[in-house]
Amino acid sequence: MELRHLRYFVAVAEERHFGRAARRLRMAQPPLSRQIQSLENELGFPLLQRSRRSVELTPAGAVLLERARLLFTEVDRAIHEARRAHTGETGQISVAYLSSLAYSGLTRLLRAFRERLPGVEVTLRELSPAAQLDALKDGALDVGFVRGPIEDPSISFECVRRERLLVALPADHPMAAKKRIALSSLAGEPFVTFPRSRAAAFFDSIMVMCHDAGFSPRIVQQAPQLDIVSLVAAGYGVAILPESIREVHRPGLELRPIVGSPSVELLAAWRASNTSAVLRTFLEILRRVSAEAGRGI
């Protein structure tokens, strides 16, 4: 038995007439009659009582009509849901982010995504850049937000925001009186940084900047990025951080631009082999939100 045989039967049962059912199905009447007869032979019992003027359902036919209607409702629903999954309207996506992103554009992005695709389940994870890249390669993550550069051919990425780097100082630090700070003037300062294992590429870029300015930072404390803000405000040292750290609003902290305005890229990254329609739609929304914001998310 095939679904088309049941569709033929439902048409005849609802029309109570072979001719009208044939027109509804856009087929000739004789083949339709043969198909219904073949279905009855396969089942081993009659579904219809035929007369010259009408067609009536047998008790078995009435039961089959009721169940067939339910079946086709489920088939139509399944096709609809499959189509939505194909276009990225349903499903799930796992997103990882840096701690600082939670204070800037992440909320705006998630709101736009939910408005567009309310049927998609979003799983959020705060992960270090290194952990994000590992999760992307393992297939445990769909998209992450890290600071560049990325030099792994298995990972695709695009820049969603370019941020100036700032010097973070305790509010009572003498250099807090300056409008801009030259990197070279930080040569004798104690530095608070994040561990290199959390974001090797970003860490190395800061070290290279300082080396080009004529010194190697004297690192006295290491901590996650938001803890760095607290340590700087408490007077443990100075730090070089992305401009989005302004959103944290930590008392006792001053942020100053660096002479020359060095910057860092915030990248959206995903596994190059990931062909998910949900991911494709997420990236489309990300690009739109970034464009509307002017400076990225």
CATH of the domain at 55: 1.10.10.10
Q: Element (H or E) spanning 156, and its range?
A: strand 155-170
Asked whether residue 43 falls in the same domain as residue 19, the answer is yes
CATH number of the domain residue 247 falls in: 3.40.190.290
Asked whether residue 69 falls in the same domain as residue 96, the answer is no
- The number of distinct structural domains making up the chain is 2
- Indicate the DSSP class of residue 9: H
Asked whether residue 45 falls in the same domain as residue 142, the answer is no
Q: Look at residue 26 and tell me whether its pLDDT is greater than 80.
A: yes
180: containing domain: 91-297
Asked whether residue 136 falls in the same domain as residue 272, the answer is yes
pLDDT confidence of residue 193: 94
List pLDDT tens digits, range 157-216. 999 888 899 999 999 999 999 999 999 999 999 999 999 988 888 899 999 999 999 999
pLDDT confidence of residue 257: 96
Q: Look at residue 249 and tell me whether its pLDDT is greater than 90.
A: no
Asked whether residue 118 falls in the same domain as residue 81, the answer is no
Q: Look at residue 244 and tell me whether its pLDDT is greater than 80.
A: yes
Q: Look at residue 296 and tell me whether its pLDDT is greater than 70.
A: no
The whole model's pTM is what? 0.68
More confident residue, 105 or 227: 227
More confident residue, 1 or 14: 14
User: How many CB atoms are closer than 10 A to CB 178?
Assistant: 16
Helix segments in 117-177, DSSP class H: 129-138
Asked whether residue 104 falls in the same domain as residue 177, the answer is yes
Asked whether residue 97 falls in the same domain as residue 213, the answer is yes
Alpha-carbon gap, residue 70 to 78, rounded angstroms: 12
